């Protein structure tokens, strides 16, 4: 990875972390519950999730949300894939498994078209 690409990736991660911390704007209890879940090991750190996403779907992270749905923590990640398509991922925050993927197409080599 080139130095410029590394800087861009680090910047995207920092932006994603800043976006992900407030679970829902104005709801401090959700924010605290998310922080507690991370500290208790109930969810994976966002950094680990984004590293997996970068391996499987290279691109630039546009938006990250952490939500609680039906008793399960879900990372919702929107990114601009290398081919220019928008990809939306729903990832189980506990184990990092992709639950849902919308947009983009995988090629045989695993890159986006």
Q: List the structure tokens of 44.
A: 């994976």
pTM more than 0.75: no
> Residue 3: pLDDT band by 50, 70, 90 thresholds?
low
What pLDDT, on a 0 to 100 scale, did the predictor assign at position 111?
47
Q: What are the residues whose beta carbons fall under 8 Å from the beta carbon of 103, sequence distance 6 or more?
A: 81, 85, 86, 87, 88
Question: Is residue 94 very low, low, confident or very high in pLDDT (cuts 50, 70, 90)?
Answer: very high
Say how far apart CA 24 and CA 84 lie, in whole Å.
Answer: 28
Measured over all CA atoms, what is the biggest interatomic distance in the chain, rounded to whole angstroms?
43
Residue 68 pLDDT exceeds 70 = yes
Identify the pLDDT of residue 1.
55
Close Cβ partners of 5 (under 8 Å, ≥ 6 residues apart):
none
Which one is predicted more confidently, 106 or 38?
38
What domains lie within the chain, and their CATH numbers? 3-102 (3.10.450.40)
Which among 74, 75, 84, 91 has a CA at the least distance from the CA of 105? 84
Q: Which two tokens stand for residue 27?
A: 């709801």
């Amino acid at each position: 990875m080139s130095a410029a690409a590394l800087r861009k990736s680090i910047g995207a991660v920092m932006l994603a972390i800043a976006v992900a911390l407030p679970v829902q704007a104005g709801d401090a209890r959700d924010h605290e519950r998310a922080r507690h879940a991370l500290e208790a090991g109930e969810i994976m750190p966002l950094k680990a999730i984004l590293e997996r996403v970068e391996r499987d779907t290279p691109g630039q992270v546009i938006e990250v949300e952490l939500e609680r749905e039906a008793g399960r923590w879900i990372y919702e990640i929107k990114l601009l894939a290398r081919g220019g398509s928008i990809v939306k991922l729903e990832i189980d925050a506990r184990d990092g498994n992709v639950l849902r993927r919308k947009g983009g197409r995988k090629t045989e080599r695993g890159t986006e078209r």
